[in-house]
């Protein structure tokens, strides 16, 4: 006479298979969500760039205080904290404004350029950071320190 049902070993095999599949799918889902947050941050940085250029048109200088652009301080956008740095240069000094990034108010040079840096926080903290500037540089530095442009091409 044959009894109906499953043996304990059969049930354990099914549980093990479900565990393996759920672990793999959770990892892929987490990567998908992180990539979505990265894409949102890129779009937000482009919006801040537009606001910086509007600010520059009105004030003839960029700002390192994002509250001047309508954001809270500190500026947390999505899963990233965004900061701005302004390059200052007085006439006749080093021709490369990036050689002298100074966010102190004591520097009375011209606000010639800016850099926006988005560093991850919260659930995204293990991810990399974004950097963009008004010269068109768009850089992503992953958690291991590898730098690449926003399309994934390696850079210096």
Whether residue 19 has pLDDT greater than 50? yes
pLDDT of residue 11: 94
| β strands within the chain, DSSP E | 75-77, 80-89, 110-120, 129-133, 138-141, 147-149
Q: Which domains does the chain have, with CATH numbers?
A: 8-149 (3.30.540)
3-state secondary structure of 141: strand
Q: Are 80 and 119 in contact (CB under 8 A)?
A: yes
Cα–Cα distance, 127 to 112 (Å, whole number)? 30
More confident residue, 112 or 37: 37
Full-model pTM:
0.69
Which tens digits make up the pLDDT trace of 52-102?
A: 999 999 988 888 889 999 888 667 877 899 999 888 655 445 445 455 554
């Amino acid at each position: 006479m044959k009894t109906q049902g499953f043996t304990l070993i059969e049930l354990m095999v099914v549980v093990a298979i479900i565990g393996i599949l759920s672990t793999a799918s959770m990892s892929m889902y987490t990567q998908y969500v992180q990539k979505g947050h990265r894409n949102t941050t890129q779009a937000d940085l482009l919006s801040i760039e537009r606001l910086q250029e509007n600010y520059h048109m009105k004030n003839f200088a960029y700002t390192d205080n994002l509250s001047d652009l309508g954001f809270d301080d500190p500026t947390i956008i999505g899963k990233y904290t965004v900061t701005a740095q302004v390059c200052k240069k007085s006439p006749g000094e080093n021709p490369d404004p990036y050689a002298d990034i100074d966010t102190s108010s004591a520097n009375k040079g011209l606000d010639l350029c800016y850099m926006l840096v988005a560093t991850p926080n919260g659930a995204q903290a293990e991810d990399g950071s974004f950097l963009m500037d008004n010269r068109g540089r768009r850089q992503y530095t992953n958690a291991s320190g590898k730098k690449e442009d926003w399309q994934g091409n390696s850079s210096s």
